[in-house]
């Protein structure tokens, strides 16, 4: 029985209760939101992993994507990246491997890390087709179903499934007749080529019931993939992207009605002034299913700094109600991320998620505590409150001149000059 089905029968599972404790929420409220499809828990019983709730009223979660390419395929490096992401505070991992021994990479990552793992089954299916038949468009449909079932049985916690790419969205793309960034989704582009070559409907859409039943059997969260997401600011919120969003929101409702936990992905590259509208549309059309934001990247001209462009978009997304964000690393648009890129990406995304949660959850207690620690030059407490304690300690130690303040102001430290002036206002008695 899935988390969704249990909640609908009035049962708060141990996983739901653990999420409630972690988020300091009433277990009854969490159970009700799981039953409504507004919260999901990616916790495939086939593999024990760290519990993580995603959805309405919960802290915005951060995913770190790793995985091989056809040019760089090192199992050891992907395991290292997974452990770095986990150590940096990522909530989940996604293995997006397309090169080398994909199955071995996934299994090594699951053995090394305790984070819930997501995948895109299309990647492995198409990679196997290329190896066996010489081209992805010759992939037999049954191969896709075999990969889907096997990954579920291995313990994958959530899957990005490209169900919203169908003959209707392809026709919309043809009528639109342009895209500045083309198609940037690997799964989306390969699936489009497969459909055009075989003159067939997408089997993941055509046989959606089979997708749902397979994932439901293992309680794998269905993440409805955004294969036609915008890969350029000029393509944001275009007709084909919105058409796919409409379909995915409908499918989220269908999957939920069948007992499968679901969430919706989007939107890729998008300017700041369109983020809120995309979230409103997704939440309204899907019955408030959790929204998994891919980035979003907010300008096209900052390669090398796209962890920053996406952090800007992620902070706004979180504040408007997005539930789950996929980090972006400095290597985005340039090459496969290395371990050092993973840490930078996770930390940027975690900062963005917290900034958004200050608005969405109205929780600023940690920031208030940090303010007081800074006022009182309480460095121990400041480091305890840091999102990235390791980096803060490193910078401080390299620049410490031995005083109680820091070398930014030295003897002109404002906090030292007025030390004690504000201390009467302790927690609970300060002026509002």
- Which residues lie closer than 8 Å to 207 by C-beta, 6 or more apart? none
* Exposure b/e, 1-30, CB count within 10 A at least 16 = b: ebbbbbbbeeebbebbebbbeebebeeeeb
CA–CA dist 103, 50 (Å, integer):
21
Q: What angle do CA 143, 247, 98 make, to 5 degrees?
A: 35
pLDDT for 422 beyond 90: no
pLDDT at 175: 94
CATH architecture of structural domain 37-360: Alpha-Beta Barrel (3.20)
According to DSSP, residue 165 is labeled -
Return phi, psi of residue 346, to 5°: -65, -45
CA–CA dist 30, 226 (Å, integer):
27
Mean pLDDT of 268-285: 98
pLDDT at 426: 54
pLDDT at 432: 47
* Residue (of 189, 70, 67, 71) closest to 137 by Cα position: 189
Lowest mean pLDDT across 98-112, 216-230, 392-406: 392-406
Of 427 and 278, the one with more pLDDT? 278
Total residues found in the chain within this entry: 432
Lowest mean pLDDT across 262-266, 295-299, 425-429: 425-429
CA–CA dist 264, 289 (Å, integer):
7
Lowest mean pLDDT across 63-67, 292-296, 416-420: 416-420
pLDDT for 411 beyond 90: no
Return phi, psi of residue 157, to 5°: -90, -35
pLDDT at 430: 55
168 preceded by a cis bond (ω within 30 of 0): no
pLDDT at 3: 98
For the chain, count helices (H), then strands (E). 19, 10
pLDDT at 409: 83
Residue 86 CB-half CA count within 13 A = 18
pLDDT at 400: 77
Residues forming CATH 3.20.20.540 domain(s) in the chain? 37-360
CB atoms closer than 10 angstroms to residue 271? 16
pLDDT at 403: 65
Of 295 and 420, the one with more pLDDT? 295
What band does 428 get if pLDDT is binned at 50, 70 and 90?
A: low
Q: Is 66 helix (H, G, I), strand (E, B) or coil?
A: strand
CA–CA dist 121, 99 (Å, integer):
13
User: What proportion of the chain, given as a percentage, has pLDDT over 70?
Assistant: 97
CA–CA dist 423, 113 (Å, integer):
44
Residue 71 structure tokens: 């040019």
* Whole-structure pTM value: 0.95
pLDDT at 431: 52
Q: What is the pLDDT of residues 88-97, one digit of tens each?
A: 999 999 999 9
């Amino acid at each position: 029985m899935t988390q969704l089905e249990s909640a609908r029968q009035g049962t708060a599972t141990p996983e739901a209760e653990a999420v409630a404790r972690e988020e300091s929420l009433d277990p009854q409220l969490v159970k009700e939101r799981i039953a409504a499809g507004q919260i999901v828990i990616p916790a495939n019983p086939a593999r024990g992993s760290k519990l993580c709730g995603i959805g309405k009223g919960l802290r915005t979660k951060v995913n770190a994507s790793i995985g091989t390419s056809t040019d760089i395929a090192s199992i050891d490096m992907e395991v290292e990246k997974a452990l770095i992401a986990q150590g940096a505070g990522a909530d989940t991992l996604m293995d997006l491997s397309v090169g080398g021994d994909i199955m071995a990479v996934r299994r090594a990552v699951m053995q090394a890390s305790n984070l819930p793992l997501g995948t895109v089954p299309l990647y492995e299916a198409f990679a196997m087709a290329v190896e066996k038949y010489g081209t992805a468009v010759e992939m037999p449909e049954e191969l896709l179903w075999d990969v889907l079932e096997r990954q579920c049985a291995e313990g994958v916690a959530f899957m990005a499934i490209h169900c919203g790419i169908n003959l209707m969205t392809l026709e919309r793309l043809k009528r639109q007749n342009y895209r500045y960034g083309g198609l940037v989704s690997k799964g989306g582009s390969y699936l489009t080529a497969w459909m055009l070559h075989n003159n067939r409907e997408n089997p993941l859409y055509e046989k959606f019931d089979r997708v749902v039943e397979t994932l439901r059997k293992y309680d794998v969260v269905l993440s409805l993939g955004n294969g036609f997401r915008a890969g350029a600011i000029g393509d944001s919120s275009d007709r084909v992207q919105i058409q796919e969003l409409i379909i995915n929101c409908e499918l989220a409702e269908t999957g939920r009605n069948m007992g499968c936990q679901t969430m919706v992905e989007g939107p890729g590259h998008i300017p700041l002034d369109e983020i809120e509208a995309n979230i409103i549309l997704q939440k309204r059309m899907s019955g408030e299913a959790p929204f998994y934001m891919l980035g979003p990247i907010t300008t096209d001209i900052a390669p090398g700094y796209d962890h920053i462009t996406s952090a800007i978009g992620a902070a706004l997304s979180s504040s408007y109600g997005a539930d789950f964000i996929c980090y972006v690393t400095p290597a985005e648009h340039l090459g496969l991320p290395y371990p050092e890129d993973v840490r930078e990406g996770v930390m940027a995304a975690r900062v963005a998620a917290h900034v958004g949660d200050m608005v969405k959850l109205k929780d600023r207690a940690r920031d208030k505590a940090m303010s007081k620690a800074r006022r009182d030059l309480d460095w121990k407490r400041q480091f305890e409150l840091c999102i990235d304690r390791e980096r803060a300690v490193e910078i401080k130690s390299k620049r410490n001149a031995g005083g109680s303040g820091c070398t930014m102001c030295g003897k002109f430290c404002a906090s030292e000059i007025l030390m004690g002036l504000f201390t009467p206002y302790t927690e609970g008695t300060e002026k509002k």
